[in-house]
Structure 1
Amino acid sequence: MFQPTDDEIISLVDQMTAVEKVDLLSGRGLWKTAGIERLGIPSIVMTDGTYGVRYSTTQIDAGDSDENSLQAFLGLVNQQAGDGSGMFGTTRPATCFPNGNLIGCSWDVDLAYRMGAALAAECQNFGVHLLLGPGINTRRTPLAGRAYEYYSEDPVINGDLAAGLISGLQDGGVGASLKHFACNNSEIDRTTTSSEVDERALREIYLAGFERAIEKSGPWTVMSSYNLLNGVQAAENHWLLTKVLRDEWGYDGLVLSDWHAIKDRAASLRAGTVLDMPESKPRKQQLLAAIETGDVELDAVDAACRTLLKFIRLCKANERPDTTVDLDEHHRLSRQLAAESIVLLKNQGSILPLDPKALHRLLIIGDSALEPIIQGSGSATTNPYRVDCPLTQITERAGAGFDVRHLPSESAPNAAVEAARDADVTIVFAENEKSRHGEGNDRDTLRLAAGQAAIIQALADAGRSVIVILSMPDAVEAPWIDGVDAVLACFYPGQGGGEAIAQILFGERNPCGKLSVTMPVRIEDIPGWHTYPGEHGRHFYSEGIFVGYRFYDLKAIEPLYPFGHGLSYTTFSYEDMTLDTDVATPGTHCTARVTARNTGAVAGKEIVQLYIRPVKPGLKRPIRELKAFAKVHLCPGEAKTVMFSLNPRDFQYYDTTRSTWVLDAEAFVIEAAASSRDIRLSRTLACHRQTFLPSNLSPDSPPALIFSHPQADTVLREFLAAKLSITDSEAIALLDKVRGSFLGFYDTLSWFVGDTVAKEDICVLLEGLNEAVHKSE
């Protein structure tokens, strides 16, 4: 048991040699920290992933040698899930839960917590102290190769679901690693390309989810990302890791690097990266040399060592080696998670749910009905304990006289049409084109796999009843959408997905998932498409704050399906909405209450979404933004009132000129919605906007800006009267002439007085006004 006091930790660091300190701040092999036997400092074990525990016995149990470790690491990253080469070495079976792309559609923090608790139990059983997840990078483009790991295009969902999973993990005694910090939104040249993001977009979108998750759950670790951020390697970015993360947000946990993400070890430690993963002898030599030359201050090294020792103490204090795991129970949880997340996109004529007693023949087309696509490819890939086959689970529902047939994906469209001639319903299992996908790659198309769209379209053209089951890392194009009867978006549903699909198809579960991203009609509609994926090592986030649905709203582009969309086998009405305040002021907290009712015939769950729409804001803002959500279970005819708490930040935008959050709008419309394009109720909140004195006035500033300063008239009038030996009235008249000009103040003034007033004198005068502004703020 390693449980030193804080004073004893200080003493341990004082006893270490420089070499031991460098060892401690570097990994041991691929998946451990370095132990220091002479001081009684143990090693801790970490592993991927974000939706399942990937425990490699050949890499974790076989020792700490770094021989062939890079080859093993690259084998892991480059693997393709389900291609037969999936797990390098020997990987212990574990529960493969739904991936982040589907869990995001649950909009359910409690379910995320339960998933985290289950992951913690499996980690404890394996002897893992730190699970490297969750990942919450914003899904700004559906082409991103790791989009399947992440929850949403919106920071509210990202932050809240991550907080739920982190709390479940850490309440179970296993640390979480919130990743990848920050703006790791593309896999193309991911270790060398700079994500060029303006500060307002960073604050309001890309950092906001991390900030929210950290505030709500306190993850034990944060993992920095591979990419450069505005020209600086993320693992070496002092602004990101110290100024924002630690100084502004107050984070006091451990920051570790993504695997081999550090280029300059000394710079990374100065920036705030404590632990360099995995072990790298050259980087250890870099740090040791920097310590010896004084390039890295010993105080900074010692502080990092103390942080790491406190983390090890936390891990060891929470060990539960006797934990047993009921994998069958976890499989049932995986099924429930998938069933509560799958999105019913379309249900024309209420073709779903299917009634097995009324069916005589069901035709199922597609290879993934037999070999389901349950997860993405890369370092998060999990060796599933068991996998539900969709065809098997569907066939189990077939009774006497109910025939289920299957055709492979390679079937010709005309053969599929002929086979469906006497079928009551045809179900097509479809997936995205598999070229370039998964970790290390970005997709280059939103099309379905070869031939699948043609089969769907041919069936639709022939008038067959068609249900499409989509497996996909993110959005896909669906030019056939108008001709099919129903569509289920399953994303990557994990090992229980096959049973979850069957339950929804036959109405044993009422679908309640809603999209956590916008589905575009075509690839060219993607926000930022015109600057994707960047050039010459720089990727400009040209859409700024207008990410996802914010962009589609701004540009009035009709999506295939909007953010927040999802159907049910019942219907819901929104009946009442109240606010507990009438006006937004700086520091305002507002509680909104919304009553929803189940107006249909079966029980179901509705996800009530709360958006804020600013009216005449000071700076350009999205038309509406999600600020809160709640998932509520309702029996037929039942009504419930859900409560939403809005805090001051929910009404503010980030003003980069003042480096602060600002309340500035004429009013706010609070909207209760079933999706971002389905607003059901609204209430208007007046706003007492913040006012600021103009700052950074110069002789070249326009007169209107200068005269907006409340002291400007008096100061300038007195100055001109004295300088030009004119009366007060004459000075006022002169300023009135200057006031309406569109030219700079000094250029306009000199038109009337020539060079009798020096520009330098005006500069001194305005600097005094600027100083008054700074003092008042």
Structure 2
Amino acid sequence: MSSKDKNIAELLAKLTLEEKAALCSGATKWLTKEVDRLEITEIVMSDGPHGLRYVVEENAFGAVSEQKSTCFPTASALAASWNKELIYQVGTALGKEARHLGVDILLGPGVNIKRSPLGGRNFEYFSEDPELAGSLAAEFVKGVQSVGIGTSLKHYACNNQEYKRFSVNAQVSERALREIYLAAFEKVVKTAAPWTVMAAYNRVNGQPATQNKHLLKEILREEWGFKGTLISDWGAIHDRVAALAAGLDLEMPGPSPVNDSKILTAVQSGQLQQNELDQAVSRILTLLVKVQLARQEAENMAADPAAEKLYEQNHQLALKAAEESIVLLKNENKLLPLNLNEIKQAAVIGQLAVKPRYQGAGSSQVTPSKLPTALAELEKAAAKSQTELLFQLGYQADQTDQRSAAQLKKAAVKAAEQAEIAIIFAGIPEEVESEGFDRQSLAMESDQVELIKAVAAVQKQTIVVLNNGAALELTPWLADVPAVIEAWLPGQAGAEAIVNILLGKINPSAKLAETFPVQEAHNPAQLNFPGVNSQLNYAEDIYVGYRYYEKKKIQPLFSFGHGLSYTDFEYSGLELPVQASAEHGLTIKFKLQNTGQYSGKEIVQLYVGQQNPYFDRPVKELKAFTKVELAAGESKIIKFNLDYRDFAYFNPEQQKWLAESDTYQIIIASSAADLRLQGQVKLNSSAVAHLLDQEDPVVDWLAAPLGKQALEDILNEEQLQFIQSEANSYVTERPLFRLDYLTENLITAPEIEKIYRHYQKLINKNKTLN
């Protein structure tokens, strides 16, 4: 196909049944099938999402040779930037590299929620919070697709662990599904329209995700309106015919002649309707049209810079992304930033200073275009100030040095004792944190913990720089050191970014996108992870991450949204209405001022909490955020608009999003634990959380405004006094339909029926009025 004028319906009519079935699986690991006689060409896919894992060769042993590309920070790092514009830029850069390499679809981003901090692939996901994950992923998708490269939103859904990920059955309530595990997918689908969505390996409530009609057809396609192509994760198909009937279009990888044959046989036998196959093929062809048009547009556009220049530009963007993703966790006595002109000797300790861990292991692993080290970058800076660096390995994560752990630690301690400051580079080795398996513990390697404690014992000016993809247990040594930097897996420019933060060339502005617990046992999924006999109960339900810690009143080590700066910010002047309509939303304003001495960026977070919900809700939930840059002394008016959904929860009784009439707390915060401004708004809504029936106790009828009105409208004064009397609590605790018996016919059965019918009329009238 070479023109946008090619009619999909006409093309579909020209395909044979065999060709249609064959198009529903790939040609290779990375390509879709061609039909030469109809000019149907292949689509090229590549792993992502923080760089192009472009496989150019595979041999009989499965080994791969990969093209060099820019390695950006992983999603856990990018999420800490809370910077939508930045992530859009990263997406655009990845799209341009994909175009340069002839790739049509980048397999990412991953928006699975970090249910447990032990998840082995957490480095590839954004957050424990769906609002943050969805908002950032949407910008990523928009960025990639802005240059005509498709994305594949993954892994849909509840792919929250690596253990038995091919078979595990996630048992999760519909409410938790909607509010936590599907919400990020929903936001991306509705606001960014990804070209494809990738169905996960695991089962959800008994059904494989690749053939789960509720997830694929009822929610994704019918409710959210997804028009794109649904593809399987690589090898995730359980039953190909059932998957196609559920809306799964393309099986990857390919070829898959056995499953192609099953589709053909199912249509011929009537097990599968012809139109179901045609719909899938039509969506695949529509995707191909998008790809072909994008290729043609790219040919007509100004050429991208040569590879060398493109990679250099993207390296600078990777540097900016890393700088905005590094979190300053602790900075006692303002030890940071360092002034090398005032330091004669500095100890640099840790194998990660010379052998950086900059990305996660697994299918997202890329070959970087360049890779500076922290020691080399520090040496450049030290040469200008004549600071002497005393480097020691301190520990070994591999066998590059044959000295014993004790010898390495002893040498590091000696260097730290001799110097004026010590900078320790520590973290999690690749063999502990990867796709394919979950972490066994949040604890750091014992030799690193012992090293930090030993160095801190002789050097009070010790800074720890961490490289890891997800939360760690830092309690054993945190109190011993004055400064800690969380650098995550920061991509190929991470070393430069770390040094720029240490020396104050860049003011840290990142904040945690996940909670760091005091100890592993505190995490919400601790008792239900990773499951038994492939059964996994999401018993914590909607209480994931900070929602759980706040509800249980457990103080974390570092809260969600925590991150320090070299400057200070003041919040003031909150403006919000006293009352608002849920259907029309509201606007919130306040002033933010940089009261410190450095220019800096502040991440402002808006949380909403409901005062008296009918169904239990978290204390507060993130509903909006923004990152604001202010010069020293500068101030800005910040504005947020909230709509119906920002106050709603997924009502388990009515199976829909619902915002109740109630008082809501509006919280403007610097982190989930650092609340700066608070106000209340009375929200008026036509929605009723629970629709009363005659089985409900009378006390519930009295408590519900429309239920009480129905009683008052139908009953006389004597009847009302009887059921409202404290002496008759035994009556009000019983169901409404029992009132005739309990009141010895003071209230009759026909009157009870009349109360119920009148209540239904009041409900309908209330909906109409609002």
Tell me the TM-score normalised to structure 2 length.
0.90
User: Does the CA-based 8 Å contact 1:475-1:519 persist in structure 2?
Assistant: yes
User: Does the CA-based 8 Å contact 1:96-1:384 persist in structure 2?
Assistant: yes
- Residue 671 of structure 2 aligns with an amino acid whose one-letter code is S
Match of 2:457 in 1: 461
- Residue 538 of structure 1 aligns with an amino acid whose one-letter code is Q
Match of 1:16 in 2: 15
The 1:752/1:485 distance shift into structure 2, 3 A limit, reads: closer
What is the correspondence of 1:581-620 to structure 2 with a 5 Å cutoff?
581-620=577-616
Cα distance in 1 for partners of 2:139, 2:326 equals 19
Q: What are structure 2's unaligned runs of at least 5 residues?
A: 396-404
Tell me by how many angstroms 1:532 deviates: 1.3
The 1:27/1:565 distance shift into structure 2, 3 A limit, reads: same
Deviations 1:572-596 (A, max 9, x none): 11132223x3323231322222321
The 1:402/1:690 distance shift into structure 2, 3 A limit, reads: same
Structure 1 position 2 matched with structure 2 position 2? yes
**Aligned partner (choices 375, 389, 392) of residue 391 of structure 1:** 375
User: Does the CA-based 8 Å contact 2:186-2:224 persist in structure 1?
Assistant: yes
The 1:282/1:475 distance shift into structure 2, 3 A limit, reads: same
**Aligned partner (choices 540, 559, 562) of residue 559 of structure 2:** 562
Structure 1 position 310 matched with structure 2 position 271? no
The 1:734/1:403 distance shift into structure 2, 3 A limit, reads: closer
Match of 2:394 in 1: 409
The 1:242/1:348 distance shift into structure 2, 3 A limit, reads: same
User: Does the CA-based 8 Å contact 2:382-2:388 persist in structure 1?
Assistant: yes
Cα distance in 1 for partners of 2:394, 2:445 equals 9
Cα distance in 1 for partners of 2:734, 2:635 equals 62
Tell me by how many angstroms 1:463 deviates: 4.3
Match of 2:402 in 1: none
Tell me by how many angstroms 1:746 deviates: 5.3
Q: Secondary structure at the match of 1:141?
A: coil
- Residue 702 of structure 1 aligns with an amino acid whose one-letter code is P
- The answer to which of 45-54 and 413-422 deviates more is 413-422
Structure 1 position 301 matched with structure 2 position 301? no
What is the correspondence of 1:508-523 to structure 2 with a 5 Å cutoff?
508-523=505-520
The 1:14/1:386 distance shift into structure 2, 3 A limit, reads: same
Cα distance in 2 for partners of 1:352, 1:711 equals 63
Match of 1:134 in 2: 109
Match of 1:740 in 2: 731
Match of 2:350 in 1: 366
Output the aligned Cα RMSD. 2.7
Match of 2:617 in 1: 621
Cα distance in 2 for partners of 1:37, 1:668 equals 61
Structure 1 position 573 matched with structure 2 position 589? no
User: Does the CA-based 8 Å contact 1:471-1:489 persist in structure 2?
Assistant: yes
Match of 1:675 in 2: 671
What is the correspondence of 1:653-668 to structure 2 with a 5 Å cutoff?
653-664=649-660, 666-668=662-664
Match of 1:421 in 2: 417
Match of 1:281 in 2: 257
Tell me by how many angstroms 1:597 deviates: 1.2
**Aligned partner (choices 239, 247, 266) of residue 241 of structure 2:** 266
Cα distance in 1 for partners of 2:733, 2:127 equals 45
**Aligned partner (choices 501, 504, 507) of residue 504 of structure 1:** 501
Tell me by how many angstroms 1:771 deviates: 7.6
The 1:624/1:18 distance shift into structure 2, 3 A limit, reads: same
Deviations 1:655-674 (A, max 9, x none): 11112222225312212111
Cα distance in 1 for partners of 2:525, 2:642 equals 30
- Residue 536 of structure 2 aligns with an amino acid whose one-letter code is H
Match of 1:33 in 2: 32
Match of 2:169 in 1: 194
Structure 1 position 333 matched with structure 2 position 309? no
Cα distance in 2 for partners of 1:237, 1:649 equals 26
Tell me by how many angstroms 1:715 deviates: 11
Deviations 1:569-626 (A, max 9, x none): 11111132223x3323231322222321111111111111111122222222111111
Cα distance in 2 for partners of 1:261, 1:540 equals 21
Q: Secondary structure at the match of 2:154?
A: strand
Cα distance in 2 for partners of 1:301, 1:207 equals 27
How many residue pairs match? The answer is 737
User: Does the CA-based 8 Å contact 1:614-1:665 persist in structure 2?
Assistant: no
Match of 2:145 in 1: 170
Cα distance in 2 for partners of 1:538, 1:473 equals 26
Deviations 1:549-582 (A, max 9, x none): 1111111111111111111111111132223x33
Cα distance in 1 for partners of 2:684, 2:757 equals 29
User: Does the CA-based 8 Å contact 2:658-2:689 persist in structure 1?
Assistant: no
The 1:732/1:651 distance shift into structure 2, 3 A limit, reads: closer
User: Does the CA-based 8 Å contact 2:241-2:263 persist in structure 1?
Assistant: yes
The 1:578/1:771 distance shift into structure 2, 3 A limit, reads: closer
Deviations 1:185-211 (A, max 9, x none): 011101111111111111111111111
Cα distance in 2 for partners of 1:767, 1:745 equals 9
User: Does the CA-based 8 Å contact 1:695-1:770 persist in structure 2?
Assistant: no
Match of 1:448 in 2: 444
The 1:764/1:274 distance shift into structure 2, 3 A limit, reads: farther
Deviations 1:323-371 (A, max 9, x none): 4441111111111110111001011111111111111111111111101
Structure 1 position 184 matched with structure 2 position 183? no
The 1:270/1:764 distance shift into structure 2, 3 A limit, reads: farther
Tell me by how many angstroms 1:373 deviates: 0.1
Cα distance in 2 for partners of 1:604, 1:23 equals 55
Deviations 1:653-697 (A, max 9, x none): 111111222222531221211111111112221222445396473
Match of 2:42 in 1: 43
Q: Secondary structure at the match of 1:588?
A: coil
Tell me by how many angstroms 1:748 deviates: 6.4
User: Does the CA-based 8 Å contact 1:98-1:494 persist in structure 2?
Assistant: yes
- Residue 417 of structure 2 aligns with an amino acid whose one-letter code is R
User: Does the CA-based 8 Å contact 2:394-2:411 persist in structure 1?
Assistant: no
Tell me by how many angstroms 1:500 deviates: 0.5
Cα distance in 1 for partners of 2:315, 2:597 equals 30
Match of 1:380 in 2: 364
Q: Secondary structure at the match of 1:542?
A: coil
User: Does the CA-based 8 Å contact 1:617-1:665 persist in structure 2?
Assistant: no
Tell me the TM-score normalised to structure 1 length.
0.90
What is the correspondence of 1:67-82 to structure 2 with a 5 Å cutoff?
72=62
- Residue 385 of structure 1 aligns with an amino acid whose one-letter code is S
Cα distance in 1 for partners of 2:164, 2:193 equals 31
Deviations 1:257-287 (A, max 9, x none): 1111110111111111111111122222222
User: Does the CA-based 8 Å contact 1:433-1:450 persist in structure 2?
Assistant: no
Q: Secondary structure at the match of 2:417?
A: coil
Structure 1 position 116 matched with structure 2 position 85? no
User: Does the CA-based 8 Å contact 2:614-2:690 persist in structure 1?
Assistant: no
Q: Secondary structure at the match of 2:680?
A: strand
Cα distance in 2 for partners of 1:499, 1:712 equals 69
The 1:606/1:694 distance shift into structure 2, 3 A limit, reads: closer
User: Does the CA-based 8 Å contact 1:504-1:511 persist in structure 2?
Assistant: yes
Tell me by how many angstroms 1:460 deviates: 2.0
Deviations 1:130-171 (A, max 9, x none): 000111111121111110011111111111111111111111
Q: Secondary structure at the match of 1:451?
A: helix
Q: Secondary structure at the match of 1:201?
A: helix
Match of 1:53 in 2: 52
Tell me by how many angstroms 1:419 deviates: 2.2
Match of 1:702 in 2: 697
Identity %, equivalent residues: 36
Tell me by how many angstroms 1:710 deviates: 6.8
